[in-house]
């Protein structure tokens, strides 16, 4: 089904960190009446995220980093526990996430499984986030991780038991949507059972 819109006007409002656009358009309501709508959309490009799992240890690798938007919206210290993620920057999603995994966690992952590609905040952000699962073993650690300083990334790499990670969702220690989706996918499909 094609959206019933016409006369789209796109205006750039900001090109600072990413791009913020204002869209004005005519929208056809379900009753057939056309009306004028105005919406803003933040375009930061598409991204990819991966949850690294170790079935033998029943553990996962996550990162911890400061996130300013959460700080200004009530997250007391601004720190977030998250799955490894990054923007595609012109790369294929699988290629991107392997690069990000090594950069952020220090693990060199050769095989990843794509599980879904949701819009993360469709009311305001254009981004599609490609979600992956990757199995890691201790001998795949090729670097220290911690992110790319040129991109002002300063990450802590944390390995935690899967059961504890699931409890951290309930306790509110893990609040990041992509991370919750990935952890729940692992639980739903019993991916840590050998």
pTM, full prediction: 0.93
End-to-end CA distance of the chain: 42
Supply the DSSP string of 79-98, one letter for each residue: EEEE-EEEE-TTS-HHHHHH
Write down the pLDDT at residue 17.
84
**Candidate ranges 3-7, 22-26, 146-150, 152-156; pick with highest mean pLDDT:** 22-26
Better-predicted residue by pLDDT, 149 or 89: 89
**166-179 mean pLDDT:** 97
User: Per CATH, the architecture of 47-188 is what?
Assistant: Alpha-Beta Complex (3.90)
CA dihedral over 85, 180, 157, 77, signed as positive or negative: positive
pLDDT band at 163; cut points 50, 70, 90: very high
DSSP calls for 22-75: EEEEEEE-TTS-EEEEEEEEEE---EEEEEEEETTTTEEEEEEEE-HHHHTTT-
Over residues 160-174, the mean pLDDT reads 98
Classify strands 47-54 and 129-135 as parallel, antiparallel or unpaired: parallel
| Domain range summary for the chain, segments of one domain joined by + | 5-43, 47-188
pLDDT, tens digit, for every residue of 116-157?
A: 999 999 999 999 999 999 999 999 999 888 766 676 678 999
Give the mean pLDDT of 1-17: 91
Tokens linked to 29: 């309501």
Complete edge-to-edge strand list for the sheet that includes strand 19-28:
5-14, 19-28, 34-43
Whole-angstrom CA distances from 154 to 63, 64, 139, 148 are 10, 9, 23, 7
């Amino acid at each position: 089904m094609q959206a019933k819109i016409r006369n789209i006007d796109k205006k750039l409002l900001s090109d600072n960190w990413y791009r913020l656009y204002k869209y004005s358009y005519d929208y056809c309501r379900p009753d057939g009446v056309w009306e004028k709508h105005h919406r803003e959309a933040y375009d930061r490009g598409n991204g990819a995220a991966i949850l690294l799992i170790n079935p033998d240890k029943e553990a996962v690798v996550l990162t911890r980093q400061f996130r300013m938007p959460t700080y200004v919206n009530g997250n007391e210290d601004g720190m977030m526990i998250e799955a490894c993620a990054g923007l595609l920057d012109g790369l294929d999603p699988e290629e991107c996430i392997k690069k990000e995994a090594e950069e952020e966690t220090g693990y060199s992952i050769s095989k990843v499984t794509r599980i879904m590609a949701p819009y993360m905040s469709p009311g305001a952000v254009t981004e599609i986030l490609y979600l992956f699962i990757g199995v890691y073993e201790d001998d795949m650690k090729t670097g220290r991780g911690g992110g790319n300083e040129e991109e002002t990334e300063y990450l802590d790499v944390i390995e935690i038991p899967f059961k504890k990670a699931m409890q951290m969702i309930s306790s509110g220690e893990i609040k990041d949507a992509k991370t919750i989706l990935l952890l729940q996918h692992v639980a739903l499909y019993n991916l840590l059972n050998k």
